[in-house]
Amino acid sequence: MLSQNELKQQVAKAAVEYIQPFLGSGVVVGVGTGSTADLFIDHLAGFKDQFMAAAASSERSAQRLAGLGIPVLDLNEVQGMPVYVDGADEINARLQMIKGGGGALTREKIVASVAERFICIADESKVVERLGKFAIPLEVIPMAVNAVARKMRTLGGDPVLREGFITDNGNPILDVAGFSLDDAAQMEAIMNNVPGVVTCGLFAIAPASVALIATQQGLRTMKV
Which residue numbers are catalytic?
Answer: 108
* Order of strands across the sheet that contains 136-140: 158-161, 173-177, 136-140, 197-200
Task: Write phi, then psi, for 152 (nearest 5 degrees).
Answer: -65, -35
DSSP letter assigned to residue 22: G
The closest alpha carbon to 39, from 78, 5, 80, belongs to 5
Binding region for substrate: 33-36, 86-89, 99-102, 126
Query: Strands (DSSP E) along the chain, which ranges?
Result: 28-31, 53-56, 81-86, 90-91, 97-98, 115-123, 136-140, 158-161, 173-177, 197-200, 202-203, 210-215, 218-222
User: How many Cβ atoms sit within 10 Å of the Cβ of residue 94?
Assistant: 14
Assess contact for 109 and 138: CB atoms under 8 A: no
Looking at the DSSP assignment, which residues form a beta bridge with residue 86?
Answer: 120
Assess contact for 86 and 57: CB atoms under 8 A: yes
Q: What's the residue count for the chain?
A: 224
